[in-house]
Amino acid sequence: MNVQVLFGSIELGMIYAIMALGVFISFRTLNMPDLTVDGSFVLGAAVSAVMCTSGHPQAALGTAFLAGCIAGSCTALLHTKLKIQPLLAGILVMLGLWSVNLRVMAGKANIPLINKTTVFNLLDGTALETYATMIIPAAIIIILMLLLYYFLKTELGLVIRATGDNEQMVRALGCNTDWTILIGLAVANGLVALSGAMIAQYQSFADITMGTGMVIIGLASVIIGEVLFGIKSLMRRLIAVVLGAMLYRLVIAAAYQLGMSPNDFKLVSALIVALALSMPVIKERYQIWKKRRENHANHLGEERKNA
Amino acid sequence: MLKIETITKIFSPGSINEKKAIDNLSLTLDKGEFVTVIGGNGAGKSTLLNCIAGVLETDSGKIYLGGEDITYMPEYKRSRYIGRVFQDPLLGTAFDMTIEENLAIAYSKAKTRGLAPGIRKSQSKLFREKLARLGLGLENRIQQKVGLLSGGQRQALTLLLATIVKPELLLLDEHTAALDPAASRQVMDLTRQLIMEHQLTTIMVTHNMKNALEFGSRTIMMHEGRIILDLQGRERTEMTVEKLIEHFSRKSGEVLDNDRLLLI
Ligand SMILES: Nc1ncnc2c1ncn2[C@@H]1O[C@H](COP(=O)(O)OP(=O)(O)OP(=O)(O)O)[C@@H](O)[C@H]1O
Ligand SMILES: [Mg+2]
């Protein structure tokens, strides 16, 4: 793997890590399988592309975040007020977002941003110009991690985390879980949309299909992070998610270099997540199998002694 | 303090599974009163507590707490005035969060949670003191996750969560039924201690007939969604477990049947 590819993967990894943090909030903190992600990622990219075209690349990021918050709120309301299962609520909003995203993109399936000013031009004219694509994502992801860490330790953050553990307890302690779920899913999808917005500017286009499978990529990143870097403390978990997202990009880049077709990446992601999710069952089976073998060995030993 | 006026709760109305779990029940509790509740399987004890706590909406009747009509108040709002401990030790705490974080959530019960830090230094000290009073050594494990605690420790902690901001009413639904005898006794002692200390108005459902008579100042017996016996004062002090069971058979025409029932 040459240096350019390596750097590229790290940069992409940091931008996708924003999305993975969003997935971490919905899947892990709220314990809710939120499939809005595939739609809100494109929503962020679409908003970003349109606003870049009209010359507002920075404001595009903030607007994309807010748009994602609204998408997440819709999913939350479908679930909490209309009692639709989270999985289904997310799919419904994702489906609806396809049309919304096309509207945002003025009916075009693709918006190129070649030669448009983006946030990556912020350092133009300074000594750091050539490293902008590394420095800007790094700065953003670090700031976001710190904000998120602080947020999840606020009074509101604590009850959002508790909601994922035990809704009953949160209500018994005087907090409306409809509200905590709303805030949680809003922030989660806001982050996802922000990630989409950055990706659009990074790769200089937005495409209506760019969100397909995003939730699985996010989940894969979260799981890789958990397995390799641990879940001890909250900060550790956030760092693990970010490193997981970066590692995922590196693995994909390596696979690509080794000649794997990009068409197969989604299948590989699906396999990784399936494997990771089945880990507890596999572990249990393995324990049972080991025990049986031990018993069997003991049994044989005794038979031999007796004989 | 608590006034329940002829409430009724029917599950799955209109279907073949229709079940009148609470049947025109009225009950009034004075401030500081500690009532124990007994009754057979499916008598409606948990349903009654859930109606008071707002987990279930009643079909008719009114509920007042401290003079305020709370009949249509959502569960989470009532919780500002009502503390609860459940039978299942898993239901009372957030297992993946630390003891300190659990206490902090309970401590901010009466206010709207915003973006202020969830745990402050001054609170930590208070939490440690309160935990030390439980006598379980939890004050030294304040940074550990609740998932690591035993059932008894969790119920003790849940009791603390329910009372750290003094509630106007404490609801305990067989909160020691899932514990082994030693832990059960310990949690019961703690319960008594906390209730005495804060003079809490309490309703405690129990499967232990002896506890029912021994704890509190009043005992009610439920059957098919109604109160069939309300014991206080001398009548209660002279009551024994045997007489209570006999009473039940006479009033209900059935044998008291509860799979968790403890007679001693
Ligand atoms: N959610 C529900 N849906 C339908 N029926 C219910 C529901 N909850 C309780 N019931 C029924 O209402 C009746 C009263 O149940 P409840 O749980 O209040 O009894 P209980 O006195 O607490 O009994 P136990 O000693 O077994 O805890 C029972 O017949 C029960 O089957
Ligand atoms: Mg019950």
Cβ(B224)–Cβ(B256) below 8 Å: no
Considering the domain architecture, whether residues A219 and A275 belong to the same structural domain is answered as no
Angstrom distances, CA of residue A131 to CA of A7, A126, A136, B111: 10, 10, 8, 47
Considering the domain architecture, whether residues A22 and A54 belong to the same structural domain is answered as yes
Considering the domain architecture, whether residues A40 and A75 belong to the same structural domain is answered as yes
Q: Residue A168 pLDDT more than 90?
A: yes
Considering the domain architecture, whether residues A20 and A90 belong to the same structural domain is answered as yes
Considering the domain architecture, whether residues A185 and A303 belong to the same structural domain is answered as no
Q: In this predicted structure, what is the pLDDT of residue B15?
A: 92
- Choice between B30 and A301, residue whose per-residue pLDDT is larger: B30
pLDDT in tens, A224-263: 999 889 888 999 999 999 999 999 999 989 988 999 998 8
Q: What is the DSSP annotation of B13-24?
A: TTSTT-EEEEEE
pLDDT, mean of residues B201-205: 98
Angstrom distances, CA of residue B192 to CA of B38, B106, B156, B177, B211: 18, 20, 12, 16, 11
Q: Phi/psi at A2 (nearest 5 deg)?
A: -80, 170
Considering the domain architecture, whether residues A208 and A282 belong to the same structural domain is answered as no
CA distance B92 to B163: 13
For residue A159, which residues of chain B lie inside 8 Å, CB to CB? 105, 113
Q: In this predicted structure, what is the pLDDT of residue B263?
A: 60
Q: Note every long-range contact of A77-80, with CB atoms under 8 Å and residues 24 or more positions apart, other chains counting.
A: A77/A182, A79/A32, A79/A181, A80/A177, A80/A178, A80/A181, A80/A182
Q: In this predicted structure, what is the pLDDT of residue A276?
A: 77
> Domain B2-81+167-252 adopts which CATH fold?
Rossmann fold (3.40.50)
CATH of the domain at A194: 1.10.3470
| Angle, CA B90 vertex, CA A90 and CA B157 arms, to 5° | 125
Cβ(B36)–Cβ(B206) below 8 Å: yes
The neighbour count for residue A219, using CB atoms within 10 Å, is 24
Considering the domain architecture, whether residues A139 and A237 belong to the same structural domain is answered as yes
Residues near ligand 2 ion, CB 5 Å cutoff: B 46
Domain that holds residue A278: 263-307
Q: Residue B264 pLDDT more than 60?
A: no
Pairing status of strand A110-112 against strand A205-207: antiparallel
Q: Residue B259 pLDDT more than 70?
A: no
For residue B167, which residues of chain A lie inside 8 Å, CB to CB? none
CA distance B179 to B202: 21
For residue B148, which residues of chain A lie inside 8 Å, CB to CB? none
Amino acid, res. B253? G
- Confidence bin at A307 (pLDDT 50/70/90): low
Considering the domain architecture, whether residues A284 and A174 belong to the same structural domain is answered as no
Cβ(A29)–Cβ(A201) below 8 Å: no
Taking CB atoms and an 8 Å limit, are B117 and A155 in contact across chains? Answer: yes
Considering the domain architecture, whether residues A255 and A118 belong to the same structural domain is answered as yes
Which residues does B189 contact at the CB level (< 8 Å), separation at least 6?
none
- Which ligand 1 atom lies nearest to the CA of residue B50? 18
Candidates B8, B15, B19: which one to mutate for ligand 1, based on the most atoms within 8 Å of Cβ? B19
Chain-centroid distance, C-alpha B24: 21
Residues with Cβ within 6 A of ligand 1?
A: B 11-12, 19, 21, 39, 41-47, 258
Q: What is the DSSP annotation of B125-179?
A: HHHHHHHHHHTSSGGG-TTSBGGGS-HHHHHHHHHHHHHSSPPSEEEEESTTTTS
| Angle, CA A180 vertex, CA A179 and CA A183 arms, to 5° | 85
Q: Residue A133 pLDDT more than 60?
A: yes
- Confidence bin at B261 (pLDDT 50/70/90): low
Total residues belonging to chain A: 307
Chain-centroid distance, C-alpha A253: 18
Amino acid, res. A273? V
Q: Residue B258 pLDDT more than 70?
A: no
Q: Smallest Cα–Cα separation from B218: which of B243, B193, B198, B201?
A: B201
CA distance B26 to B19: 19
User: CA nearest A149 in B: which residue?
Assistant: B117
pLDDT, mean of residues B31-52: 95
CA distance B168 to B166: 7
Ligand 2 centroid – CA B19 distance (Å) = 15
In the numeric block, which tokens belong to residue B131? 């935990």
For residue B77, which residues of chain A lie inside 8 Å, CB to CB? 174
Query: Which one of B80, B102, B118 has the shortest CB-CB distance to A155?
Result: B118
- Confidence bin at A275 (pLDDT 50/70/90): confident
Beta bridge partners of B34: B202
- Confidence bin at A197 (pLDDT 50/70/90): very high
Chain-centroid distance, C-alpha B261: 17
User: CA nearest A28 in B: which residue?
Assistant: B96
Does A184 contact B at CB distance below 8 Å? no
Fill in the DSSP letter of residue B3: E
Report if pTM > 0.80: yes
Q: In this predicted structure, what is the pLDDT of residue B257?
A: 65
Considering the domain architecture, whether residues A146 and A239 belong to the same structural domain is answered as yes
Considering the domain architecture, whether residues A56 and A156 belong to the same structural domain is answered as yes
pLDDT, mean of residues A76-101: 98
Q: In this predicted structure, what is the pLDDT of residue B262?
A: 62
CA distance A2 to A284: 41
Q: Where are the domains of chain B?
A: 2-81+167-252
Q: In this predicted structure, what is the pLDDT of residue B260?
A: 62
How close A80 comes to chain B (CA, Å)? Answer: 14
Considering the domain architecture, whether residues A84 and A166 belong to the same structural domain is answered as yes
How far the first Cα of chain B sits from its last, in Å, is 32
pLDDT in tens, B44-91: 999 999 999 999 999 999 999 999 999 999 999 999 999 999 999 999
Angstrom distances, CA of residue A294 to CA of A283, A289, A300, A305: 16, 9, 10, 16
Percentage above 90 pLDDT, chain A: 80
Ligand 1 centroid – CA A208 distance (Å) = 51
pLDDT in tens, A25-66: 999 999 999 999 999 999 999 999 999 999 999 999 999 999
Interface confidence, given as ipTM, is 0.93
Q: In this predicted structure, what is the pLDDT of residue A262?
A: 85
Q: In this predicted structure, what is the pLDDT of residue B236?
A: 93
Does A156 contact B at CB distance below 8 Å? yes
Candidates B12, B45, B220: which one to mutate for ligand 1, based on the most atoms within 8 Å of Cβ? B45
Query: Which one of B76, B91, B93 has the shortest CB-CB distance to A175?
Result: B76
CA distance B192 to A14: 55
Q: Residue B121 pLDDT more than 70?
A: yes
Query: What residue's CA is closest to ligand 1, atom 2?
Result: B11
Residue in the block written with tokens 């009073």: B133
A-interface mutation test, from B105, B121, B124, most A Cβ less than 10 A away: B105
For residue B108, which residues of chain A lie inside 8 Å, CB to CB? 155
Query: Which one of B86, B91, B105 has the shortest CB-CB distance to A158?
Result: B105
Total domains in the fold of chain A: 2
Q: In this predicted structure, what is the pLDDT of residue A137?
A: 97
What's chain B's average pLDDT?
93
Q: Smallest Cα–Cα separation from A217: which of A37, A57, A69?
A: A37
Fill in the DSSP letter of residue A27: I
Does A234 contact B at CB distance below 8 Å? no
Q: Which phi-psi region, left, alpha or beta, contains residue B227 (left: φ > 0; alpha: ψ -120 to 50)?
A: beta
Query: Which one of B79, B86, B97 has the shortest CB-CB distance to A174?
Result: B79
Beta bridge partners of B169: B82
